[in-house]
Structure 1
Amino acid sequence: MSRENDRIRHELLALRCRRGEPAALAELVRVWEPRLFFYVRRMLAEEEAAWQVMQEVWVAVLSRIDRLREPGRLPQWLYAIARNTLMSHLRGRYAERERTATDAPEPVDEDDPLERWADAEQVYAGLARLPPVDREVLTLCFLDDLSIAEIAEVLAIPPGTVKSRLFKARRALRAVLTGES
């Protein structure tokens, strides 16, 4: 399906949700939860924490859907809410770590044979070893298939910054996957 068809489909879904149609709200969750969860899960090590963030994302989405000004920009709006919720969660977690003075990062078991089961699993494991900024831009670009302009909107940064972050992140991922880091 073309991007224009997707945009129209997203716009119609957003308009139906704004009208409060229960079927549209259910469709919104059914269609977008896997994509948003995939994004959130790539940014968090624990699945349970990702589901907690997703609950907060859906509360925010459902309480603000009537304020969506441009229904055709539904994907960017959803990812922006997911990102803001995720960042709030991470800030809270970092603040908690500082309070408890346990700043040591969680160990990653790189020798686990299940992590190297398939190429996709290797990429996911490599992503987990990247800094959040690199992981986020790669996830939005390659795994969630957003354009440079859409990523710029979600991250609230200029498109040129997205391009340079992508370049740096690709190089970092390549280094991790080839064992150079």
Structure 2
Amino acid sequence: MSAGAARILDEYLVAEARAGSRSALTQLVRRWHPKLVAHAWRLTGDRELAHDAVQSAWSEIIRGLSKLREERAFPVWAFRIVSRTCNREIGSLVKTRQLMTAIESEPRETSCAPEEPSDLGPLREAIRQLPAGERAAIALYHFEELRVAEVAVALAVPVGTVKTRLMNARKKLRAILDPEGETP
């Protein structure tokens, strides 16, 4: 399904879910849950924490769906809710002195990651080496095809911060993927 068709389907499902369709809500959750878990995983670096954060975020998303003004804003709105939920989860880890463990346990499984062509394996492995903020910005911009402004809203940071994170991430990825600095 093309990106345009997927957005139209999402808009339709959001409109139907807002109108009270349980079937549309179920389909919306089925379509978006893996993407939101992947986003949370990139932010937290912990699979279990990502699942917990997205579970909490879904209750907020479902409660707030009726207040969403435009259906086309759903992706950015949902990513932002997940980002805030992850921030709260990480904040609670800081208070209990478990943050260092969560940050150091870098995800190595791909079960929560979106499906990827086999030639993207080295790139995805390199992205896992980036700091969480840069990892999330790269993934939302390139894999989820959000615009810079949408990434800023989703991550709750200024547009300039997103641009800086993307620039720094690209430099680091070049260094990781091409350590000799050779370009074809």
TM-score normalised per structure 2? 0.77
Deviation of 1:176 after TM superposition, in Å, equals 3.3
How many angstroms apart in 2 are the aligned matches of 1:95 and 1:131?
Answer: 21
Structure 2: 5+ residue runs without aligned partners? 109-117
Which residue does 1:106 correspond to in 2? 104
- Can you list the C-alpha shifts for 1:61-102, whole angstroms capped at 9, x where unaligned? 1121111122221111111111111111111112221xx7x8
- Can you list the C-alpha shifts for 1:151-174, whole angstroms capped at 9, x where unaligned? 122233443432222111111222
TM-score normalised per structure 1? 0.78
Q: Which amino acid counterpart does residue 152 of structure 2 have in structure 1?
A: A
Deviation of 1:6 after TM superposition, in Å, equals 4.8
How many angstroms apart in 2 are the aligned matches of 1:122 and 1:74?
Answer: 31
SS of 2:104 mapped into structure 1: coil
How many angstroms apart in 2 are the aligned matches of 1:109 and 1:49?
Answer: 11
2:131 equivalent to 1:122: no
Answer whether contact 2:42 2:132 (CA < 8 A) is retained: no
How many angstroms apart in 2 are the aligned matches of 1:127 and 1:177?
Answer: 10
> Which shows bigger deviation, 35-44 or 119-128?
119-128
Which residue does 2:86 correspond to in 1? 86
Deviation of 1:2 after TM superposition, in Å, equals 5.7
How many angstroms apart in 1 are the aligned matches of 2:163 and 2:107?
Answer: 31
Percent of pairs with identical residues: 31
How many angstroms apart in 2 are the aligned matches of 1:123 and 1:24?
Answer: 35
Deviation of 1:179 after TM superposition, in Å, equals 5.3
Q: Which amino acid counterpart does residue 173 of structure 1 have in structure 2?
A: L
Answer whether contact 1:39 1:144 (CA < 8 A) is retained: no
Q: Which amino acid counterpart does residue 125 of structure 2 have in structure 1?
A: A
Structure 1: 5+ residue runs without aligned partners? 111-117
RMSD: 2.7
Note closer, same or farther for the CA distance 1:10–1:130 as it changes in structure 2 (3 Å cut).
Answer: same
Which residue does 1:147 correspond to in 2? 147
SS of 1:145 mapped into structure 2: coil
